[in-house]
Structure 1
Amino acid sequence: MRIRGIITTGIAASAAIALGTTSASAATGIDLTTGKGFLGKGEVQTALGYNNAALQKAVDAKSLVFTATQPTTQSLTQAASQSATQTATQTATQSATQSATQSATQKVSQVLSCTVTTGSEKNPKVFTRDGSRSVTRTGTRTASHVGTRTGSHSSTRTGARTGSLAGVSTGTLGYDIDVDARKNSQYTGFIFNGWKGEPTYKDGSTTWDSEAKFGDWEFGDYNFGDYAFGAYSFGAYDFGDYTFASLDDVTWGDWVAKPGDNPADCLRSENADKVSDVSNVVTPGAITDGTITDGPVAEGAVTPGDVVEGDVKEGAVQYGATQYGVRTATGPKSLFVNGKAL
């Protein structure tokens, strides 16, 4: 006669337990693939350190729970993104020309002399006067200056990383008490009828294979500001010589002569037969420079130099949601009674 005492206590187990075919348990009478088989009481006593009386009492109290565990692994993937910025500087040169005008005045002196003969009397005459004339000349000068500007650009790159998640699946076995083999009021073993309910799974440690693997940065163009130029450093103007007009442009002062003398006495044509030793000498004097008047600065084209890039400043890596793969067994199942290995 067999009395069927179904033990229903225990915790659920992972589906991976039902898929495995190997066993690390000493309980060789149990097929852990199906959860069915027979287990003698001696193996339970050894695992729990019970004597026969303690085991019989535990069976009557229905305090025995049989479970099996199996290590598993699960592949993981996770998308990642990362942003970065990079600054750069660029120098440029720019030339410019500037024109200027400068006026000058020049003193001019004139000495007119002759001898006027009246009858037998010779009368020498001398006349002097001062004048001035003005002129303007143009000059140019060139210069260059250097400017610097800064810019930045940003980029985002994507990547992924892979890893694995270790875990343990735990399942509970239902069993009957084998009372047909009972002798002298003792239970001699346990008949296992298969897995009970749904398995449970407990996550272990996560191991990522490596840091995220990224592609190259894809930077756009630099966004530069304006060049910051310093002032032009001009040299001296390159002026040509003054070019004065004819002496007709001289502004003369009054003649200096003896009272009653007239310069016309030396120059009138009707006196030609009376005038001799005529001398008319005009002598240009010193030139006095006037103020230089600057003209507008005519700037040339800006000539950009090379772009000098700075270091790429990487931002923090942003990870997306973890994608979980199929859970697979990494080792055999192990059978336990009340948490003790069989």
Structure 2
Amino acid sequence: MIFTDPKSTESFENIESHKERNFYCKVFAGYFFNELISEPNSRFKAFLLLLKSKVNDIDFFFKSEETDEKHAIKLLQTFNIDESHVSFDFHGDQLTKRWDGDDGELADILIIGRKAVISIEVKYLTNWNFTKDVMLNQIRIAKYGELVGRKAIQVLLIKKSKWENARKKENHSNSQFALLKAESGKLKLPMIVITWEDIMEITGNEKVIRYLEHQLKDVNNTIMNREEFHEFYLNYLNSLKQKLSDREELIYRVRDYSAQGKETGNPRKVFDIKDNVLHIEELSRRNIISKCTEEELFVIYEHFEEDIEKLKHAKPRKEKLLADFHNFIEFKRPILIDMLGG
């Protein structure tokens, strides 16, 4: 049923959704936080113990202005299964008129206890972003905590390999880990990082363990996931940028190639790029960007997303995907050159 053994069917890839929500709902709603399965209290306690075990590790716990390690442990100790409620995909737009925050997502998984709430940001296929997933999300979570009269803790659940990779890149100019580490002690909320491999270690059901192993192995070894694809694409465009021009500053022309734009001539929706300064409406009016950053390259990516998605949905092995992507870029090269001001 929910945790079908991958070995029991030859068409597992054709019946199992690769969406992040499908994965974490199965694991947490179907097993960890399901009170209809025997011994729910032991699973809930194991999860809380996992969070507590990370609090004294500076690479997995990040303090807020008000909450240090000792206070975080005390908050976690207030949770018990009889006075806790779990909800999934929780957004601000469902809250009462007293809510003055934005309508965005507060948590992929929300655990509401007697004195505190735990907001879990889940990453499985995609990577995490400090501004989007931590800073902006903590504003919403903190407001929610005030609304319901409870202290809040944020948890980031991510693959071990992705977290290790983030830590290795601490000295890079765009390191998300460095940004997070620098804010430890200044965050609105304390933040704990756990990994899917941690979850697998505290799983007491062999069928669920086999499901987790298969899903995590599939993402690691078979398919180029979204974050890897984005990184490859950005590296390719950066390389292409250097080949097309040795000018110190490039001028990028961004045009609307979406089907809607072709039919109506209307600009695409506003993209949130670097503090909301650059908007697609402004780009459509001026038709230029005076300076290119990695974030701005995502605008170019958006124009070709439909074509790229077709490649990704074919789920080829990495080698084939890279070859297909190379051919795709060669086909689009005239458009790219025009966009790059060549």
Shorter-chain TM-score range? under 0.3
Query: Relative to total residues, which structure has the larger strand share, 1 or 2?
Result: 1
Structure 1 or 2, whichever has the larger Rg, is 1
With the length of structure 2 as denominator, give the TM-score of the two structures.
0.15
With the length of structure 1 as denominator, give the TM-score of the two structures.
0.15
Greater RCO structure (CA 8 Å; 6+ sep): 1
Query: Relative to total residues, which structure has the larger helix share, 1 or 2?
Result: 2
